[in-house]
Chains A and B, each alone.
Chain A
């Protein structure tokens, strides 16, 4: 079974603070993804990566940065967190095309 882990699992942040969400995968997948999940919007892609050193903008990248320092790790960075970024964030890995994306357990972020 493919394995994707995320940390932290829960996070409370203050408005204007910096938040870093981390993701690790042991699947040796080239592609990694960051989504946020909100009721009424479903899963929306924030950033993704094709491999170490690469990051690409997804559908809603504003207010977020991403970093892929290695094949295994992919981080999502909120430099100046806002209450509108309160959400559940999922990381996923995959090989693209018709292949399955494997999701991590999610991180609940509350920005006060």
Chain B
């Protein structure tokens, strides 16, 4: 079945340093990949998602590139901000399968300190 493996647990960074959260996946079909972000006491919300035309999605300084050859969709940002502290989930939607469910990774809690 579909599965997502991502950077898990606690990730601590100093403000201004680059952010890299890894995400790899297994899927029978051609999936869509997502990054969701959840700030403290809030609901998860979409940060960015893969495009079908290989464009690189970007939002709030974050970007991710879908590499089908390595089955990866790593999240990156050049300079971490205090406001980036949150829980980050990588997720997969299987286009060729039901295409209606998301399979989530276990999440990474990013803490950015001054």
Contacts and interface: CB of A to CB of B under 8 A. Distances in A.
Interface of A: 4, 31, 33, 35, 40-45, 48, 50, 58, 90, 94, 96-98, 100-106
Contacts of B98: 96
Nearest to B108: A42
What is the interface of chain B mostly: helix, strand, loop, or mixed? Answer: loop
A42 B107 contact: yes
B32 interface: yes
Contacts of B18: none
Contacts of B106: 40-42
Nearest to A96: B100
29 contacts: A33-B101, A35-B104, A41-B106, A42-B105, A42-B106, A43-B89, A43-B104, A44-B104, A45-B101, A45-B102, A45-B103, A48-B100, A90-B44, A94-B100, A96-B93, A96-B99, A96-B101, A97-B32, A97-B100, A98-B32, A98-B49, A98-B50, A98-B95, A100-B34, A100-B49, A101-B102, A103-B43, A104-B43, A106-B43
Interface in B30-69: 32, 34, 42-46, 49-50, 52
Contacts, number: 56
Interface of B: 32, 34, 42-46, 49-50, 52, 89, 93, 95, 98-107
A45 B89 CA distance: 14
A104 B44 CA distance: 8
Contact of A90 (B43, B49, B101): B43
B46 A100 contact: yes
Nearest to A103: B43
